[in-house]
């Protein structure tokens, strides 16, 4: 018996994009496109006849824009929504508003340029749709039919496993990883940090260009300074560095001081940036000087890295199931035995500060 598929409604004014998204989603054995719509009015009629599990939604459309439709959906009949925008839209304020209005994720439309980029976009889109389906408490049984599993690289692809270096006693640093639901979780976390908090580096799964707007938005509402990381940025008190979309971010050390390396590389644990990459580099170059947290998100990115951090003497926190939009990454980290404490979102910042001398 084949398990229940995730039914998706694709809403986009471009026929080419509707067809591309349909082909990509239908290629996954666990997903089926139940219909498409050229604009929100057509989408509303289809929803009245059959409620989808997930909606993919463009932002700029005729007759009614995607943000207005998103607000109507959330107020009248909440359905998990993935905003699928152009590259330019992803870097704008509308993408942030979409998350504030209730979208589960904002991703860029699949890149058609090269086979490699298209395949990465396909993996990302299908993963996000599955995470969106889980975000409202729905559980989809895996299909009985054989699934073609994409190769999933681990952190070895970017930073080889090595013995933790002999870490000098130095200031504590904070490493954080998040995915689905993480944009709001990080806002809650960062709003609680004081202006002179310990250095913080964050990986949030996001499309390229979106992280700039995200970091700027957080910087405008939080007391601590927040910026998108650049290669060579020093980790200093009162500064939060957010990994840029489509780049890996690693922790490095020079003497007793830390900085970040931002670099290209393959998808690791199906993501770029990858939490596993950041956490492994933390285990290797900082070890017991790290306080880490893994937050809401689907999949297992960061779980292995957190176990390596834990084994290197770091203090490791996982967000609890009750406050996670998707309890995937934290659960996998707990299962691997790399977590010292499981906490609700609202208490993570206080524990991080207590354990890092902040």
| 229 burial type by CB count under 10 A (0-12 exposed, 13-18 middle, 19+ buried) | buried
Give me the DSSP letters along 158-188: TS---PPP-PPS---EEEEEE-TTHHHHHHH
Please identify which of the residues 28, 39, 205, 209 carries the catalytic annotation.
205
DSSP state of 85: E
**Helix, strand, coil abundance in the chain, percent, nearest 5:** 35, 20, 40
Tell the burial category of 261 from Cβ atoms under 10 Å away from its Cβ (0-12, 13-18, 19+).
middle
The neighbouring-strand residues paired with 107 are 84
Altogether, the residues listed in the chain come to a count of: 358
Question: Collapsing DSSP states into helix, strand and coil, what is residue 151?
Answer: coil
Which one of 121, 179, 274, 292 is the catalytic residue?
Answer: 179
Rounded to whole angstroms, how far apart are CA atoms 308 and 302?
10
Query: How far is C-alpha 306 from the geometric centre of its chain's CA atoms?
Result: 16
> Could you give the 3-state DSSP secondary structure of residue 349?
helix
Whole-angstrom distance, CA of residue 183 vs CA of residue 112: 27
Token pair listed for 100: 């504030």
Helices and strands per DSSP (H, E), number in the chain: 12, 14
Whole-number CA gyration radius for the chain:
20
- 205 annotated active-site: yes
Q: Please indicate whether residue 351 is annotated as part of the active site.
A: no
For residues 21 and 86, is the Cβ–Cβ distance under 8 A? Answer: no
Q: Which of 301, 310, 320, 324 is the catalytic position?
A: 301
Residues annotated as catalytic are: 179, 205, 301
């Amino acid at each position: 018996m084949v398990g229940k598929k995730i039914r998706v409604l694709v809403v986009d004014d471009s026929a080419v994009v509707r067809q591309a998204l349909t082909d990509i989603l239908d290629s996954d054995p666990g997903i089926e496109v139940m219909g498409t719509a050229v604009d929100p009015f057509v989408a509303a009629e289809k929803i009245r006849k059959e409620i989808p599990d997930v909606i993919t939604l463009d932002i700029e459309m005729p007759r009614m824009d995607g943000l207005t439709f998103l607000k109507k959906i959330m107020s009248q009949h909440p359905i998990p929504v993935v905003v699928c925008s152009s590259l330019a839209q992803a870097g704008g304020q509308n993408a942030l508003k979409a998350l504030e209005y209730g979208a589960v994720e904002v991703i860029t439309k699949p890149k058609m340029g090269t086979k490699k980029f298209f395949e990465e976009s396909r993996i990302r889109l299908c993963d996000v749709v599955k995470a969106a389906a889980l975000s409202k408490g729905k559980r989809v049984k895996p299909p009985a039919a054989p699934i073609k599993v994409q190769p999933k690289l681990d952190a070895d692809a970017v930073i080889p496993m090595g013995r933790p270096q002999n870490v000098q006693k130095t200031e504590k640093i904070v490493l954080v990883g998040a995915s689905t639901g993480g944009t709001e979780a990080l806002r809650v976390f960062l709003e609680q940090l004081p202006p002179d908090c310990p250095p913080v580096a964050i990986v949030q799964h996001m499309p390229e260009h979106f992280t700039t707007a995200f970091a700027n938005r957080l910087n405008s509402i939080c007391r601590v300074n927040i910026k998108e990381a650049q290669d060579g940025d020093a980790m200093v008190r009162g500064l939060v560095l957010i990994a840029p979309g489509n780049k890996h971010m690693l922790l490095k050390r020079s003497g007793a001081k830390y900085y970040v390396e931002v670099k290209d590389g393959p998808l690791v644990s199906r993501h770029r940036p990858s939490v596993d990459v950041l956490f492994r580099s933390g285990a290797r170059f900082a070890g017991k000087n790290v306080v880490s947290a893994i937050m809401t998100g689907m999949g297992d990115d960061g779980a292995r890295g957190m176990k390596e951090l834990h084994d290197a003497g770091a203090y490791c926190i996982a967000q609890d199931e009750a406050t996670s939009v998707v309890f995937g990454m934290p659960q996998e980290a707990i299962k691997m035995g790399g977590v010292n404490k499981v906490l609700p979102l609202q208490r993570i910042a206080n524990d991080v500060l207590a354990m890092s001398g902040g």
